[in-house]
Amino acid sequence: MKKRGNRREAEPVVEAPPVDDGEKRRRWMRVRIGALACCVLVGAVLVSRRAWELTMVHGPGLRALAEQQQLRDIRLAPKRGTIYDRHGAELAVSVDVESVFANPRLMHARGVDFPTAATQLATVLGIDRDRLLARLRSPYRGELRYFVWIERQVSPTEADAVRSLDIEGIQLTDEARRFYPNRELAAHLLGFANIDGVGIEGLELSLEDRLRGANDPVPAVRDRRGRVVFSDQLLDERAAQGDDVYLTIDKTIQHVAERELALGVQTAEARAGSVVVLDPRNGEILA
């Protein structure tokens, strides 16, 4: 304010220019971006520190625990080798059939009524309903089991009937069944294998090691329920498959020899008889 004589003149007031709203928003945006960047940086530091602890400090222990839970040694069920005659005709061969099994613990978790399921399965499979129900309810260490055989090596019709029931926890799996396409032909020579594919009599028993194939434990990955989901050895079934065996006998000559022997025993009223057919050139047994 300037003074003129006895009078004072008011100085003009200069007002500040108004702040642009856009500038306010830009300022606030910069503040928010800075705060967000700080939060991200702090989070990254914390995550990196935790990752370092898990990897370097607790890594060996966690790795061992994971392997214990996920890795296990299993024994493969290799396909049993085929027995042929001298011309390549099949005398004993393994064929894939389906078997029915149950997971009672899963059935209980899904609310499946055990008596009803047992009745349905017993009807289509022709088995005893009460015995089946008892197997489903049988505990292991105080809890229901994860695996129970219902019926092994069922017919295709029975497998389709079980599948159509669509019962939770009831599943089918493939198994190898020993099949003798010529029925009783050379049965005394071939012998037979049991339901698990193990030789019991004859060549099936004496050549068990060759026919069975590899039965060594192999590493596999399992899920949280213990089911195998992957194994390197499962990629190539031939690695564990049993060896095929070729015999010197001739299927046709064997059939004729058995027929004539049975006729001779009947004619002579004998209790039993035996016959051997040899190749005179090399002494190989033909029947």
Residue 20 has pLDDT above 70, yes or no: no
Q: Are residues 54 and 169 in the same domain?
A: no
Boundaries of domain holding 179: 74-243
pTM of this prediction? 0.62
Q: Are residues 36 and 168 in the same domain?
A: no
Q: Are residues 267 and 202 in the same domain?
A: no
Domains identified in the chain, total number: 3
- What CATH number should be reported for the domain holding residue 231? 3.90.1310.10
Distance (Å, rounded) from C-alpha 174 to C-alpha 96?
6
- 30-82 pLDDT, tens digit each: 778 888 888 888 888 888 877 777 777 666 766 665 555 555 555 566 788 99
- 82-100 pLDDT, tens digit each: 999 999 999 999 888 999 9
* DSSP string covering the chain: -EEETTEEEPPPP-PPPPPPHHHHHHHHHHHHHHHHHHHHHHHHHHHHHHHHIIIIISHHHHHHHHHHHHEEEEE--PPPPPEE-TTS-EEEEEEEEEEEEE-HHHHHHTT--HHHHHHHHHHHHT--HHHHHHHHH-EETTEE-S-EEEEEEE-HHHHHHHHHH--TTEEEEEEEEEE-TTTTTTHHHH-EE-TTS-EEEHHHHHTHHHHH----EEEEEE-TTS-EEE-GGGG-GGGTPPPPEE-S--HHHHHHHHHHHHHHHHHHT-S------B-TTT--B--
- Comparison of pLDDT for 49 and 190, the residue scoring more: 190
Out of 94-98, 232-236, 264-268, least confident range: 232-236
Domain membership of residue 226 (yes or no) is yes
Q: Are residues 51 and 193 in the same domain?
A: no
Backbone region of residue 11 per phi and psi (left: phi > 0; alpha: psi in -120 to 50; beta: other values) = beta
133-156 mean pLDDT = 88
Domain membership of residue 68 (yes or no) is no
Q: Are residues 223 and 253 in the same domain?
A: no
Q: Are residues 255 and 209 in the same domain?
A: no
Segment of 59-63, 170-174, 269-273 carrying the highest mean pLDDT:
170-174
- 210-233 pLDDT, tens digit each: 998 776 665 555 555 555 544 544
Residue 23 has pLDDT above 60, yes or no: yes
Q: Are residues 233 and 97 in the same domain?
A: yes
Q: Are residues 168 and 181 in the same domain?
A: yes
Residue 271 has pLDDT above 90, yes or no: no
- 121-131 pLDDT, tens digit each: 999 999 999 99
Domain membership of residue 176 (yes or no) is yes
Domain membership of residue 49 (yes or no) is yes
Here the tokens at position 183 are 């029925």
Domain membership of residue 184 (yes or no) is yes
